[in-house]
Amino acid sequence: MKHHLNGGKLKNGIPQPLCGETRFRNLQTRLDMVNCDRCLQARNSLMSEYEPIALVDMDGTVCNFHDTMEHDLHALLGRTRVPKDVRWKIGLLIRSQEGWFQNLKPIPLGFKIVGLLRSLGYDIMVLTKGNTKIKSCWSEKAMWCTKHMPFAKVTITEDKGLVYGRVLVDDWVPYIERWKKWRPRGIVIVPAQPWNRNVKGDGIYRVRHAADLARLKPILAAQAVRPPGAKR
């Protein structure tokens, strides 16, 4: 990665990329990227020197997307069975209603996880996937975070694997696997859901209740202060 850094020169304390496709904007690690995997790897390596960031998913982690969706589907369909693709399209219409995302209820376990991470000095960044078919979900998710998590930064993305963090809190296994591909030393906290019952891997911890969090506390504390480049 050395050939992607400008001779180790610093600007505002940040090593400058040599690659013409990328440039760091500020200490908040904003990075313009145009199809450059090596610069992405360089960015992830350099960012770990600055601050412990915990990435927190929304749907199924801190807000009750799935139970709300099942409730609304049942209200429309009752016991009527429909093909999966039809059910998905109806769900899309439900989510497209004004205020649907904004009015989702918080999940207590998710907020206990967030509280623990904050107590250990992590900066919280909400990391949620935006649905390109529902434009309103982007703004409504941001409004939900302003109401329930005003202390958090918010990133809405189409690819969670591109976003840096020392810890990821997420319930969806494909997103976890994508993120771990780039952050093999990262820790993942998985709020227990039926669809992640079999999740496993190095640094991946499934959490069902507060007792599980108590056992994770020393691991998370060590991760927050881990020197750049050091193994867990």
**Residue pair 64/193 in contact by the 8 Å Cβ criterion:** no
Is the pLDDT at 7 greater than 50? The verdict is no
* H or E element at residue 1: none
Percent of the chain with pLDDT over 70: 77
Q: Given its phi and psi angles, is residue 78 left (phi above 0), alpha (psi -120 to 50 degrees) or beta?
A: left
* H or E element at residue 59: none
Phi, psi angle pair for 229, to nearest 5°: 90, -15
Task: Reduce the DSSP state of residue 119 to 3 states and report it.
Answer: helix
**Assigned fold of 53-63+107-224:** Rossmann fold (3.40.50)
Distance, in Å, from the CA atom of 204 to the CA atom of 186, rounded to the nearest integer, reads 9
More reliable by pLDDT, 82 or 228 = 82
Q: With 0.85 as the threshold, say if the pTM is over it.
A: no
* CA 20 distance to own-chain centroid: 28
Q: What is the pLDDT of residues 157-205, one digit of tens each?
A: 989 999 999 999 999 999 999 999 999 999 999 999 999 999 999 999 9
Residue 231: pLDDT band with limits 50, 70, 90: low
Which residues are 23's β-sheet partners? 32
Phi, psi angle pair for 118, to nearest 5°: -65, -40
Q: Give the pair of three-digit tokens for residue 216.
A: 């994770």
Distance, in Å, from the CA atom of 89 to the CA atom of 160, rounded to the nearest integer, reads 24
Distance, in Å, from the CA atom of 157 to the CA atom of 130, rounded to the nearest integer, reads 6
* Location of structure tokens 């958090």: 152
Task: Reduce the DSSP state of residue 100 to 3 states and report it.
Answer: coil
**Residue pair 183/44 in contact by the 8 Å Cβ criterion:** yes
The candidate with the shortest Cα–Cα distance to 179, out of 154, 199, 153, 207, is 199
Distance, in Å, from the CA atom of 199 to the CA atom of 66, rounded to the nearest integer, reads 19
Distance, in Å, from the CA atom of 60 to the CA atom of 172, rounded to the nearest integer, reads 8
Domain with CATH 3.40.50.1000 in the chain: 53-63+107-224
Q: How far is CA 89 from CA 73, 85, 92, in A?
A: 11, 6, 5
Pairing, β 23-24 against β 31-32: antiparallel
Q: What is the mean pLDDT of residues 65-94?
A: 89
Distance, in Å, from the CA atom of 117 to the CA atom of 50, rounded to the nearest integer, reads 17
